[in-house]
Amino acid sequence: MDLGIKGKVALVTGGSRGLGKQCALSLAREGVNVAICGRTGASIDGTVSELRTLGADSIGVVADVSEVSGLESLHKQVVDGLGPMDILVNNVGGSRSRGDILEVTLEDFKGTFDLNLFGGFQLMKLAIPHMKDQKWGRIINIASIWGREHGGALSYMSAKAALIGATKHAGLTLAPHGILVNSIAPGSIAHEGGSWERFQNENPPEVVSDFIDQNLPMGRFGWPQPVGDVAAFLASERASLITGSCIVVDGGQSHSMI
Q: Where are the domains of the chain?
A: 9-187+222-248
pTM for the predicted model, two decimal places: 0.96
- Please identify every residue annotated as catalytic: 156
Alpha-carbon span 121 to 115, nearest angstrom: 10
- Three-state secondary structure call for residue 10: strand
β-strand 87-90 against 33-38: which pairing, if any?
A: unpaired
Task: Count other Cβ atoms within 10 Å, centred on residue 223.
Answer: 13
What's the pLDDT tens digit per position in 29-75?
A: 999 999 999 988 888 999 999 999 999 999 999 999 999 999 999 99
Q: Across all residues in the chain, what is the average pLDDT? A: 96
Alpha-carbon span 191 to 92, nearest angstrom: 15
Tell me: pLDDT of 1 over 80.
no
Pick the CATH number of 9-187+222-248 from 3.20.140.10, 3.40.1280.10, 3.30.565.10, 3.40.50.720: 3.40.50.720
Alpha-carbon span 8 to 27, nearest angstrom: 9
What's the pLDDT tens digit per position in 228-238?
A: 999 999 999 99
By CB atoms closer than 10 A (0-12, 13-18, 19+), residue 84 is middle
Distances (CA, A) of 11 to 103, 147, 216, 251, 254: 36, 23, 31, 27, 29
Q: What is the mean pLDDT of residues 7-23?
A: 97
Q: What is the mean pLDDT of residues 137-144?
A: 98
